[in-house]
Chains A and B, each alone.
Chain A
Amino acid sequence: MRWKEMDYAGWGRALSAHGHVARPERSRDLKPLSLEGPAMGNRRSYGDAALNGGGRITDMTRLDRILSFDETTGILEAEAGIMLGELAEVFAPRGWLPPVMPGTGFATLGGAIAMDVHGKNHHGAGSFGAHVTEVTLVGPAGEQAVTPEDLPLFRATLGGLGQTGIIARAKIAMKRCKGDIMMVTERRAKDWDDHIALLDGSEATYVVGWIDATATGAALGRGIVEEGETGPGLVPKPKPSRKVPFDAPGFALAPPIVKGFNELYYRRVPKSGRTVVRPIGKFFFPLDKVHDWNRLYGKRGFHQFQCVVPLAAVGVLRDMLEKIAASGLASPLAVLKRMGAGRAGHMSFPMEGYTLAVDFPNRDKAVALIGELEAMTEAAGGRLYLAKDSLADGARIKAMYPEHADWLEQVRARDPDGLYLTDMVRRLDLRSDA
């Protein structure tokens, strides 16, 4: 296998690595590669979860075939490099959807498992891992199909950051849908209380709140709550996506511009709300239309802060939002969602409560602010999302993930030599006891 020495980065571009990357196109190449280092998907994790600086890593994106699909049970098996957006595109017209879809369709199947991602239907459907029926791992001990019957290892693999072996392929239970369009109801939430009330009161399958993180005072917490259901019908094919052709200059996301954008985004929806019909991709992956949108943050990149706090601690999120709005570290739309209890792995992010996700440009002031937000999360009994994290320290993460020891036991058994260590696992010291 040929190795390419290259620089590569996580989606936030604030963290990057230099090392050797292999990109196999045939699955039989995976076995020898599994003795060389960890694997990465499409690098849609924001921080360093998919980086192995100075070492070797296998890029899975060309191992992306659908291996079988059972029209009666909806069980699909595919190679780990396939993108969830592609699965949606192929199967939605036939009445099936990936059971859970994160905010980008560019996430791979393997990545979705390694991060146990969640979506706008988390309150009802749980995390991605809840719909995984089998994961085939390749590692030093050979190839192994892991199912819910191998419970400890299964739980260490779902959301397990790729530390139990390279995810070669997996079976998931697809979910029936009525067609490939979404009926989307959008409502204005005029302030924080209104926003939470709309999220709490929703009975829709897919729900998400877009929050104006620049609004202050009486408008704090205002935003748009979107509720979606799949539907049959036809909408015009979406236009081809656009690319961000260069790193944006520093002023592109300057506070007045972001404030103006957020204002317009809020006003877009009439006071009385509205229901619109959208292509499925546009609802689930609104930002995918703009390729390489991470370049809007310029060369220094950005960080995303995403936390979840228990239901009773919802007030903490309001305090966080106040801090964010007052800091003037303008960030475009932030996301607020009510989560259910569903989580599939020891290191899975979700817990019953509310999750808030906000982007910040990579500046010293923002890094300090994120530190404060992390401390507030920890104090509230919440946790940080490892798919987004690029700044936390290990002690804090271990405190937030009480099943870390269970995960570690399995990881040590599967990868005793630390072959699959990544920059994130090293930074957070996840492979040693708390």
Chain B
Amino acid sequence: MSETWIILGATSSIARVMARRLAGRGAHLLLCGRDHADMQATAADALARGAAGAEVHGIDVRNPDTFAPVIAAVNTLDGPVNVAVFVGSMPEQSEIDADPALIDGTIADSLTGPARFLHEIAPLLEERGGSIAGVGSVAGDRGRVTNYVYGAAKAGFAAYLSGLRNRMARKGVHVMTVKPGPVDTAMTWGMKMPLMTTPEAVADAILKGLARKRNVIYTAGIWRPVMMVIRAVPEPIFKKTSF
């Protein structure tokens, strides 16, 4: 029996690498996202690389009504279910400052949307077993002037995953929080960012972290000590910084 994976936000750069790695292991993939044509190409790629199956589901995390077909599809398959969550959006802080209405969408894409999806699928995982990898961000570890709306959403998602881990652990379902630093993707292309890592490195770290049943991982590892330091800076000083 092959492993089943729901990939939420399947058009993201990291998700695409993840799909490729899982395809090589012969997994059955349910690719979920908004860009149907793009996901179809990823599904074809996964099948050519050895996936047992690859189906495409057009879902929009801002609209929970679109979740039903995915849940129905999982119900036709046997065995444990794994979920990897890559959705999220990061408008530049300046765009948000100009149009505060963007806050709602950012929070929906990065926090409330994925939380709604995980809440709907959680009972199924409790019943059949599996694992969840949720991608947060180091930006959620401390709010900073340069992207605190995105950071707030990711902080909220990290707290949600921590609670979900607490709930699911009792049923043998492992929930892992992933905190990547800046990753070289379409989202960060052209931005100046420190300690950039690649989608390949993040996908590999996620698979390794799940195999070792880690609770919270930083990719790349350097971000763990860096964020420890950043979190330790006293607020009176931190509020005067601007990174």
Contacts and interface: CB of A to CB of B under 8 A. Distances in A.
| A and B pair up | yes
Interface of A: 2-5, 22-28, 62, 65-69, 76, 79, 90
Most B C-beta atoms less than 10 A away, residue of A4, A26, A28, A67: A26
28 contacts: A2-B186, A2-B189, A4-B189, A23-B189, A25-B11, A25-B13, A25-B185, A25-B186, A27-B37, A27-B41, A28-B38, A62-B13, A65-B16, A65-B42, A65-B44, A65-B45, A66-B44, A66-B45, A66-B48, A66-B49, A67-B41, A67-B44, A68-B44, A69-B48, A76-B48, A79-B41, A90-B48, A90-B49
Interface of B: 11, 13, 16, 35, 37-38, 41-42, 44-45, 48-49, 185-186, 189-190
A28 B190 CA distance: 20
Most A C-beta atoms less than 10 A away, residue of B38, B44, B45, B49: B45
B44 A24 contact: no
A81 to B, nearest CB: 12
Most A C-beta atoms less than 10 A away, residue of B11, B13, B41, B185: B41
A26 B45 CA distance: 13
A76 B16 CA distance: 20
Nearest to A23: B189
A90 B45 CA distance: 11
A216 B139 CA distance: 62
B38 A3 contact: no
Contact of B37 (A3, A28, A69, A79): A28
Contacts of B189: 2, 4, 22-23
A3 B190 CA distance: 6
Given A25-B185, A26-B35, A62-B13, A2 B190 contact: yes
Contacts of B35: 26, 28
A248 B178 CA distance: 37
Instruction: Name B's interface SS.
Output: helix
A90 B44 CA distance: 14
B186 A65 contact: no
Nearest to A6: B190
The 4 closest A-B pairs by CB, nearest first: A65-B45, A4-B190, A66-B48, A2-B190
Given A67-B44, A67-B45, A69-B48, 10 more contacts: A2-B189, A4-B189, A4-B190, A25-B186, A65-B16, A66-B45, A66-B48, A66-B49, A68-B44, A90-B49
Nearest to A22: B189
A66 B20 CA distance: 11
A90 B21 CA distance: 11
A298 to B, nearest CB: 25
Contacts of A28: 35, 37-38
A14 B35 CA distance: 41
Contacts of B42: 65
B197 to A, nearest CB: 15
Nearest to A20: B190
Contacts of A23: 186, 189
B63 to A, nearest CB: 21
B4 to A, nearest CB: 22
Nearest to A3: B190
Contact of A24 (B49, B186, B190): B186
A318 B193 CA distance: 52
Contacts of A62: 13, 186
A408 to B, nearest CB: 34
A26 B38 contact: yes
Contacts of B185: 25
A26 B190 CA distance: 17
A22 B189 CA distance: 8
B54 to A, nearest CB: 12
Contacts of A69: 48
B20 to A, nearest CB: 9
A27 B37 CA distance: 9
A26 B36 CA distance: 11
